[in-house]
Amino acid sequence: MLTAITGINWGDEGKGRMVDLLSEDYDIVVRYQGGNNAGHTVVNPKGKFILNLLPSGILRDDVVNVMGNGMVIDLEHLAGEIGRLREAGVEVTPEHLKISDRAVICMPYHVMLDCLEEERLGDAKFGSTRRGIAPVYGDKYMKKALRMGELLHPERMAQRLKGILEWKNLTIEKVYGGQAAALQKMLDWLKKYGEPLKSYICDTGLYLDEAAKAGKNIMFEAQLGALRDIDFGIYPYTSSSSTIAAYAPVGAGIPNRKLDKTIGIMKAYSTCVGEGPFTAEMFGDEAEALRKAGGEYGAATGRPRRVGGFDVVASRYGVRMQGADELALTKMDVLSYLERIPVCTAYRVDGELTQAFPFTDALDEAQPVIEYLEGWGCDISGCRSKEELPAQALAYIAYIEAAVGCKVRYVSVGPAREQYVVL
């Protein structure tokens, strides 16, 4: 069984929490794209963890975790993340963590360039997490990036890095007036943080292909959501990688394999971090109340998230782009305080009503059409079965299913592993 767990919205849907829950039935969890710009929060019997780079299956002893070739990896950050897990008593060994030799290394100068560019943009900034993600993916496609496998051949890596830095420092110094990245300093950094990872690096594509052949269950974990996909999201306010399920086998290293199932993780309301069009956005007290109820502050950066009602137009598009077979509706419990629940049912663009998710420029002008559904007015965080959910909550779910054209299989009613209902 090859299953992708992907985000339907702008990210922060609770994918980490669902991977932690559903990985029970899987042998392997693979992260197939992105870097440490995401934060997956997982609350389970071992404690509360924020995972930026490691697959969320790392918290299960019997699951092998793979960091795929589609990822970009900041070695220093990974060392810190592994260190924090070990301190909390979680075992991290080459037996249950494997890192693709083809994954790209996010270097300190990528982080520096990300910051320099955001500062240059001033008020027009993108709201980057400043973790070097766009610069490192840029270099990947310029074919001027280092990959994890090069750590196993330090002399050749030093030669390549020398050439790369001659080029990169032209930009740092002459475009931004920044301080050049020194070769020796970068080599020391690679040695310090790369050396301990050597035994984890391998041809993970081969490993996964053999595992698939042997009938193992493999889960693909995405970062961010459909609306942040580099091709299909709200470009340029997207991430720099492909967040959609169709990319999962490629970013994992087994493009020869097909997915059996895609589970879309969709939030019961909308949130968005950073800049860019966000049609369903609420403001003022209404927004603050929802932000507080949902604890909507970024896991990676602590930034307050922009919030809004459930967006039918964007979510239906997200379901389509992910090719979701079924959905997990998360954070339903957060809406319990509302007497009536706002839902964005259509957009008005240039005076016309539309149900289709528009191109970014039109999206900038889009106005939301808001309707209200009846709230349930009671705490549902203790519900564990469909029968226990109030009629209004079931009506809300049924409305959403019809609106986005996909069945909801799981309803998450709290952050802890056991706080969910299967419909």
Which of 2, 21, 30, 38: binder of ligand GDP (CB under 6 A)? 38
Name the residue type at position 352. E
Pairing of strands 340-349, 352-354: antiparallel
Q: How far is the CB of 228 from ligand GDP (least distance, A)?
A: 11
Q: Which stretch binds ligand GDP (CB under 6 A): 4-12, 117-125, 160-168, 368-376?
A: 4-12
For the record, the structure tokens of 208 come out as 């996964």
Cβ distance to ligand GDP smaller for residue 211 or 224:
224
Which of 181, 220, 415, 421: binder of ligand GDP (CB under 6 A)? 415
Cβ distance to ligand GDP smaller for residue 11 or 251:
11
The CA-based angle 108-251-129, given to 5 degrees, is 35
14 phi, psi to nearest 5 deg: 100, 30
Pick from 238, 223, 216: nearest CA to 56:
223
User: Residue 12 catalytic?
Assistant: yes
Sign of the alpha-carbon dihedral angle for 201, 69, 30, 255: negative
Residue 39 makes contact with ligand GDP by CB under 6 A: yes
Q: Cβ(35)–Cβ(106) under 8 Å?
A: yes
Cβ distance to ligand GDP smaller for residue 150 or 333:
333
Q: Which residues in 245-304 contact ligand GDP (CB under 6 A)?
A: 299
Q: Residue 141: exposed, middle, or buried by beta-carbon count in 10 A (0-12, 13-18, 19+)?
A: exposed
Token pair 């890192």 in the structure block, residue: 99
User: Residue 74 catalytic?
Assistant: no
Cβ distance to ligand GDP smaller for residue 129 or 345:
129
Pairing of strands 104-105, 201-202: unpaired
Cβ distance to ligand GDP smaller for residue 43 or 90:
43
What track of x and - describes contact with ligand GDP for positions 298 through 337 (by CB under 6 A)?
Answer: -x------------------------------xx-xx---
What CA–CA distance (Å, rounded) separates 386 from 391? Answer: 10
Residue 10: other Cβ atoms inside 10 A:
28
Q: Which stretch binds ligand GDP (CB under 6 A): 15-23, 103-111, 390-398, 399-407?
A: 15-23
Q: How far is the CB of 229 from ligand GDP (least distance, A)?
A: 14
What CA–CA distance (Å, rounded) separates 183 from 168? Answer: 11
Which of 66, 252, 414, 421: binder of ligand GDP (CB under 6 A)? 414
Residue 14 makes contact with ligand GDP by CB under 6 A: yes
Residue 233 makes contact with ligand GDP by CB under 6 A: no
Write out the H or E segment, with its range, that includes residue 411. strand 408-412
Residue 36 makes contact with ligand GDP by CB under 6 A: no
For the record, the structure tokens of 332 come out as 């339903």
Q: How far is the CB of 274 from ligand GDP (least distance, A)?
A: 13
Residue 17 makes contact with ligand GDP by CB under 6 A: yes
For the record, the structure tokens of 96 come out as 């249950």
Q: Cβ(384)–Cβ(421) under 8 Å?
A: yes
For the record, the structure tokens of 135 come out as 């610069």
Do you know the residue count of the chain? 423
Q: Which residues in 330-389 contact ligand GDP (CB under 6 A)?
A: 330-331, 333-334
Residue 243 makes contact with ligand GDP by CB under 6 A: no
Pick from 176, 118, 104, 183: nearest CA to 146:
104
Q: How far is the CB of 339 from ligand GDP (least distance, A)?
A: 19
Catalytic residue among 20, 25, 40, 285: 40
Binding site for ligand GDP (CB under 6 A): 7, 11-17, 38-41, 43, 299, 330-331, 333-334, 412-415
Q: Which positions are catalytic?
A: 12, 40
